[in-house]
Amino acid sequence: MLALFRDATRTVDEFLSGADLPIFGRGGSGEWPRVDVTETETEARVVAELPGMDEKDVEVTLQDGVLTLEGEKKGESEGAIRRERWYGAFRRAIQLGPDIDPERVDASFKNGVLTVTLGKREKPRGPAKRIPIGGSGSA
C-alpha cells in the first residue's frame, strides 16, 4: 500500500514539476523568461535570465514603449528519460511606457543573462508660471 502511495505521489510531483508544461513549476505567472525591471529617473533596466542560450538565439525589439524578447531554446531530445528543463520558443512583451527614448537603448548578453538598458527622454523644464488667485472664490 505504501509503494502505491509513493508511486502516486511521484506521478503528481512529476506533473506539477513542469515536465513538458512550461506554465507549471515556475511560480508566479508562468511567463518565461523571468525578468527583473528596475527604473530610475533617467533609465529603465530589464534583466532576463536565459540559461543555456546564446545571444544569437534571442531577438530584442522596442516599439511604442513595449520591449519584446523572443527566441528559442533548442532541446536535446536524444535519449531523454525525464525532462524537467524548459525548451522551446518564447515571446515576452514588457510594457515600459512612452518616456523611453528608442535612440538610447543598449543590450548585453553575458553568462546566460540578458541586460537591456533603456534611456528615458529628458523632461522639458521651463520656468515656473505664476498663477494669479482670484478673490471671488467661485470657479
| Domain ranges within the chain, ordered by starting residue | 1-27, 31-75+84-120
**Mean of pLDDT over the chain:** 80
Q: What pLDDT, on the 0 to 100 scale, is given for residue 8? A: 56
39 pLDDT more than 90: yes
Give the residue from 103, 122, 111 showing the smallest Cα distance to 41: 122
Question: CATH code for 31-75+84-120?
Answer: 2.60.40.790
32/70 Cα distance (integer angstroms): 10
- Identify the H or E element spanning 36: strand 35-39
Q: What is the pTM of this model?
A: 0.65
Q: How many CA atoms does the CB half-sphere of 63 hold within 13 Å?
A: 5
Lowest mean pLDDT among 8-12, 39-43, 83-87, 107-111: 8-12
